[in-house]
Structure 1
Amino acid sequence: MDIQEQIKAYIGSQPEPKRSDMQTLHHLILEIMPACKLWFLDGKNSENKTVANPNIGYGFYTIKYADGKTREFYQIGISANKTGISVYILGIDDKTYLAKTYGKEIGNASVTGYCIKFKALKDIHIETLLAAIRYGFEAQNQNN
């Protein structure tokens, strides 16, 4: 199964309304970055043990670790969780930026250094979320 098929199956496995919200987010992110690299991480480690929720990733950047090692990873990620949806915006140096810039305007969501978590799209201001996603892509593209 290729990545597109894995993404489709993952979104399709979600209960409504989460399924529709995930599908909408997937399409909106692809409108922002139509040619970006797609990722699908099933949440399992090398022993096939579940260690995280599966997630869909968009774009790529190079993570630089303190020991000098590097690793490619996605810039933006979405994942279904028990209570809703998480949107990950990775690679932003200022860990207070998302909360300071988008926290008050986004609506009913939890905003941390790299994650925006909400129950459903109807609970948030979608344009604010999309602005945060655009910022995530732009910030990383300037750093690479």
Structure 2
Amino acid sequence: MAELKTRKNDASVEDFLNGVENEKKRNDSLEIVKMMQEVTGEEPVMWGDSIVGFGSYTYKYASGRTGDWMMVGFSPRKQNLTLYIMPGFDQYDELLGKLGKYTTGKSCLYIKKLEDVDQDVLRELVKQSVEYMRETSL
């Protein structure tokens, strides 16, 4: 079976974020790091070459294969700021209704810029998702 390419590594989060060309996206990314670090109590760590993650958990497939992944994370992509909310969004309808402008994928929350969303609601979404992951993945 293929090895997962996106793994925790020792690359510098600071260097990665300082390399974000768009100043607004870079500043938003620094705010997201601060918020996620406060919520999780974890230090930011690079996962692969473009994701900043916080905490980790071990998942297990039905086949028995296991792997490690971040509890929560984000990446300043070209089109959006992508936040990785690992439980997905089914249980967060009420919070999402108050969040602001965003789109979602399976576990990805896409926002153009932080000012498009209510940051208190975003913080609560991250907090609840991390609590859920800590409760269900141990």
* Same fold at TM > 0.5: yes
- Give the equivalent residue in structure 2 for 1:40: 46
CA contact (8 A) 1:103 1:111 kept: no
Instruction: Give unpaired runs (5+ residues) of structure 1.
Output: 44-53
RMSD between aligned residues: 1.8
Once superposed, which parts of structure 1, at least 4 consecutive aligned residues long, lie more than 3 Å away? none
**In structure 2, distance between residues paired with 1:61 and 1:127:** 25
What TM-score results when the alignment is normalised by the length of structure 2? 0.83
SS in 2 for 1:22: helix
- Give the equivalent residue in structure 2 for 1:23: 30
What TM-score results when the alignment is normalised by the length of structure 1? 0.80
- Give the equivalent residue in structure 1 for 2:130: 137
**In structure 1, distance between residues paired with 2:105 and 2:95:** 10
SS in 2 for 1:105: helix
Residues matched between the structures, number: 128
1:111-142 superposed Cα distances (whole Å, 9 cap, x missing partner): 34311110100111111111111011100111
**In structure 2, distance between residues paired with 1:38 and 1:26:** 7
Q: What fraction of aligned residue pairs are identical, expressed as a percent?
A: 20
Aligned pairs (5 A) from 1:48-87: 54-87=50-83
**In structure 1, distance between residues paired with 2:45 and 2:61:** 21
**In structure 2, distance between residues paired with 1:37 and 1:9:** 15
Q: CA deviation at 1:104?
A: 1.7
CA contact (8 A) 2:100 2:118 kept: yes
Q: Whose relative contact order is higher, 1 or 2, with alpha carbons under 8 Å and at least 6 apart?
A: 2
